Structure 1
Amino acid sequence: MPVVSIIGRPNVGKSSLFNRLTGRREAIVDDMPGVTRDRLYGEAEWRDRKFYVVDTGGFLAKDEHAFVHGMRQQVRTALAESDVVLFMIDGREGPTWMDDDVADMLRKSGKPVIVVANKIDDSIHEDLVYQAYSLGFDEVIGISAEHKRNIYDLLDLVIEKLPKDEPMAEASSEVRVAIVGKPNVGKSSLLNYLAGEERSLVTDIPGTTRDAVDTSVTIGGVSFRLIDTAGLRRKSRIEDNIEYYSYIRTLQAIDRCDVALLLMDATEPFTDQDKKLASEISERGKGIVLLVNKWDLLGKKDELGDVMKRKLKDEMGFVSFAPLHFISALTGRGIQKVPELVLKVNGNRNSRIGTTLLNRLVRDILAFDRLPTDSRGRAFKIFYCTQAEIAPPTFIFFVNFPDLAEKAFENHMEKELRSLADFEGTPLRIFWRGKEEKSS
């Protein structure tokens, strides 16, 4: 998906606009300049187009020189990483010297820029928008992020500026594999080992690999496209602007893959960052293989392996369906099995269950399982089930009262479906659709 970045000096309303575009309330909105202390990213959709939104945040430096340097770095990073830039100013105050400085950088870039004059709360202040044309851009719009004024018109402008949707790729025999994980966890070393060459710059500095790169390799007669990423850094100081985009790069790599290899550190497994990435992979319907790297650094490996498998169920139970494998990207230990795991998971992700077998499962559930009811005496009933899609396997249950299918029952049904076929490594999608029972 394309990336839209909101840039501007502090206290112009970037976080409020981010919240409007993404429908979220994660940003702390305050009157004090620089209150947004961390990067924010989210997804937006308008007129069937999806895109990432980045709130680059504002910060208040101790001296003017540091402030200007930080602002310029923010703009440079946004220009390098974004498809469209929303240049936000205070519409009531009008352009300042810092806005002029930013505008000069934006004009030289040639990137699509929309000047967003915020705090135009009503038609009385509409004339103030014309001040923004002095910045030298054709696209200028007055909005009120707080009161939602002209937000839809702004979204229309954004859609016009986005790059055209890429045509759907033709079916390929290549299995697309994203290698994701925290910086310095061994992603590039793993890619190099699989590719048989020093494809990526590898050092001990977290975040050395900045860009996603693709490497096509053939292993055992099977073609793989390996997607490396810039990794995921723990939320850090606001000045490191390039890290605003590292997580989005990771998400874009996951979007493009069939199977994701989530690489974790044996000395620090199952961190919050690992869990977040695993959740993103599962929610996007991608296959997942959990790889624990740096296994060579630990002793009593058999005992620790059992401990980690139990810990996986306790701390990352939502992806307990994923295979857990131990490797050393440094020595190559265990890596020879990785392509085999990828192929297995990819096959499972593309598998189907016949309707006859599914409806036999429905009959067994109706006969032996305790089905949901509610306080009004409504009894849940399943009429039939069908598999609607693959990649990931998606099942539709036709029932009388879809609202009675709570999460616990859905988890139970997922367990039953997994008993019918080998779905290791792939998430399943379950939908409940209402259907009236035919009268006899």
Structure 2
Amino acid sequence: MTDRRRLPVVAVVGAPNVGKSSLVNRILGRRRAVVAEEPGTTRDRGYARAEWAGREFLLVDTGGMEPSARMGLEALVTLQARIAVEEADVIVHLTDARTGPTEADAAIARELLRSRAEVVLAVNKLDDPADESERYRFYSLGEGEPHPVSALHGLGVGDLLDEVVARLPEAAPPEAAELPGIAIIGRPNVGKSTLLNRLLGEQRAVVSEAAGTTTDVVESEVEVQLDGGRERFALLDTAGVGKRTHRAQGVPYYSALRTAEAIRRSSVALLVVDAAEGLVAGDLQLARQVEEAGRSLGVLLNKRDLVPPERLREVQEQAAARLPDLKPPVLGVSALTGAGVGEVLPFAARINRAFNLRVRPHELAEYVNHLAARSAPPRGVKLRYATQTGTAPPRFTLFATRPGDLPESYLRYIENALRERYGLQGVSLRLKVKSSR
């Protein structure tokens, strides 16, 4: 497939415990990454949409790079970070002012300077704005000007982002837009490749009774008829992802990486679940991955021909109970017999429409006012206005007096009501609150 690219990618990389996750949290304005004093808390790459000065980009948090590591967990974490470097347009190399330039920093700098991406050097933990002298030592890394920041206090982060945004590539023209993707994901041997072959009407993927036959992303272009119109999608089949992927090596490890990449490239992920087994830990882990990537989710209960209707209803209720944030729609199918398979692509296309929902400003403001009248916010808080601030996934912003006094339960009330009214089941809806002042 040609690279008809998505949002530009900004990767935050560096040695262990230099404050990468703290910086990511500061940029996103919320506690998304786990932050701890112990080195190596972040192991996998974490992706989130970010915005600065009107430019949107994917922000990637990575684990600590240890270029000398050859085996074990450190080597796997470093590999994850290197993959982030390969796909990044701009790399923020974060260092620690308290330790000064280390041999690890120098080794990382040499790697980054060989990459195709723009590199911005940042020196963290400069908490005294009057004294930036420590940053000058980092000129020795050869990455240009060291930008002083304090992720803990937010100092210098805006200036750093100005530099990052200035180096982002120009946005792709509309005609170069990538087809929306539908990723078929699931644990090994739940019938994903058999389903793909049914959908395409041909032997496009290798099907085997042995678990783990597919190790790469298989992509095909499909056309879906919906409400009298036709829509085109890239259909992505993936390898099965088993448990403990963060400890996996070889084929299972790379299968997990490629599945994660397919999720990020898709608008809709279809989670194939064995109807007889129901939702298990591996399914929930994949669903969380979809939500964290800001994508939408539908659940396909495969092998429906092998279970009674009561079991299908039971698993459907289980999905609603165990995935309360996304509340994904559920469809029963049999990839083996073809039952229900004709509904799969229209099912995904409807989820995609919800993912790209745009609500008229006046309508949204009126509806949120209605919700506030029906169930008033806490005393002293008034909802002044509501607007949609983005799509794919839908993002909404509430403007309120004393926004810090709005409890999580009230925001969940607004979110659930929006999800119900606009058919956003399975969509990673985003809701923000700002001061009306």
| 1:305 matched residue in structure 2 | 312
Greater displacement, 227-236 / 266-275: 227-236
2 CA distance for matches of 1:73 and 1:389? 33
The structure 2 residue matched to 1:215, chosen from 196, 199, 220, is 220
| Matching residue's letter, 2:79 | Q
| 2:279 matched residue in structure 1 | 269
Q: Secondary structure at the match of 1:15?
A: helix
2 CA distance for matches of 1:142 and 1:389? 31
Summarize the alignment of residues 75-224 of structure 1 with structure 2, pairs less than 5 Å apart: 75-122=81-128, 125-169=131-175, 176-184=180-188, 185-199=190-204, 208-211=214-217, 214-218=219-223, 224=232
8 Å CA contact 2:207, 2:213 repeated in 1: no
Summarize the alignment of residues 249-328 of structure 1 with structure 2, pairs less than 5 Å apart: 249-254=261-266, 257=267, 260-266=269-275, 267-269=277-279, 271-273=283-285, 275-276=287-288, 289-295=298-304, 299-316=306-323, 322-328=329-335
1 CA distance for matches of 2:273 and 2:30? 29
Task: From the CA coordinates, give the structure whose radius of gyration is larger.
Answer: 1
| Matching residue's letter, 1:76 | R
2 CA distance for matches of 1:350 and 1:64? 43
Q: TM-score with structure 2 length normalisation?
A: 0.68
| Matching residue's letter, 1:117 | V
Task: Summarize deviations over 1:222-262 as a string: whole Å, max 9, x none.
Answer: 563233165766564368686896676355334xx3x5533
| Matching residue's letter, 2:50 | A
| 2:233 matched residue in structure 1 | 225
Taking every aligned residue pair, what percent have the same amino acid on both sides? 32
8 Å CA contact 2:221, 2:233 repeated in 1: yes
CA gap 1:97/1:119 in 2 versus in 1, 3 angstroms: same
| 1:437 matched residue in structure 2 | none
| Matching residue's letter, 1:155 | L
8 Å CA contact 2:64, 2:81 repeated in 1: no
| 1:24 matched residue in structure 2 | 30
| 1:334 matched residue in structure 2 | 340
CA gap 1:149/1:349 in 2 versus in 1, 3 angstroms: closer
CA gap 1:135/1:226 in 2 versus in 1, 3 angstroms: same
Task: Summarize deviations over 1:35-63 as a string: whole Å, max 9, x none.
Answer: 445554433221122223222223899x9
Greater displacement, 241-250 / 305-314: 241-250
CA gap 1:10/1:265 in 2 versus in 1, 3 angstroms: same
2 CA distance for matches of 1:125 and 1:352? 48
8 Å CA contact 2:42, 2:64 repeated in 1: yes
How far residue 86 of structure 1 moved from its aligned partner, in angstroms, is 1.8
1 CA distance for matches of 2:117 and 2:430? 42
| 1:438 matched residue in structure 2 | none
2 CA distance for matches of 1:416 and 1:56? 35
| Matching residue's letter, 2:110 | D
8 Å CA contact 1:181, 1:264 repeated in 2: no
2 CA distance for matches of 1:161 and 1:236? 34
| 2:246 matched residue in structure 1 | 237
| Matching residue's letter, 1:193 | R
How far residue 417 of structure 1 moved from its aligned partner, in angstroms, is 5.1
CA gap 1:10/1:408 in 2 versus in 1, 3 angstroms: closer
Q: Does 2:39 align with 1:33?
A: yes
1 CA distance for matches of 2:48 and 2:41? 19
8 Å CA contact 1:18, 1:53 repeated in 2: yes
Q: Secondary structure at the match of 2:172?
A: coil
Greater displacement, 231-240 / 88-97: 231-240
Greater displacement, 43-52 / 68-77: 68-77
How far residue 147 of structure 1 moved from its aligned partner, in angstroms, is 2.9
2 CA distance for matches of 1:428 and 1:96? 41
Q: How many residues align?
A: 408
| 1:11 matched residue in structure 2 | 17
1 CA distance for matches of 2:286 and 2:160? 36
| 1:436 matched residue in structure 2 | none
How far residue 335 of structure 1 moved from its aligned partner, in angstroms, is 1.9
CA gap 1:82/1:192 in 2 versus in 1, 3 angstroms: farther
2 CA distance for matches of 1:146 and 1:415? 35
CA gap 1:416/1:59 in 2 versus in 1, 3 angstroms: closer
| Matching residue's letter, 2:233 | R
8 Å CA contact 1:120, 1:144 repeated in 2: yes
Task: Summarize deviations over 1:373-400 as a string: whole Å, max 9, x none.
Answer: 689799x9xxxxxx9999999999xxxx
Q: Secondary structure at the match of 1:339?
A: helix
Q: TM-score with structure 1 length normalisation?
A: 0.67
Query: CA-atom RMSD, angstroms?
Result: 5.6
CA gap 1:250/1:5 in 2 versus in 1, 3 angstroms: same
| 2:435 matched residue in structure 1 | none
8 Å CA contact 2:355, 2:392 repeated in 1: yes
| Matching residue's letter, 1:324 | L
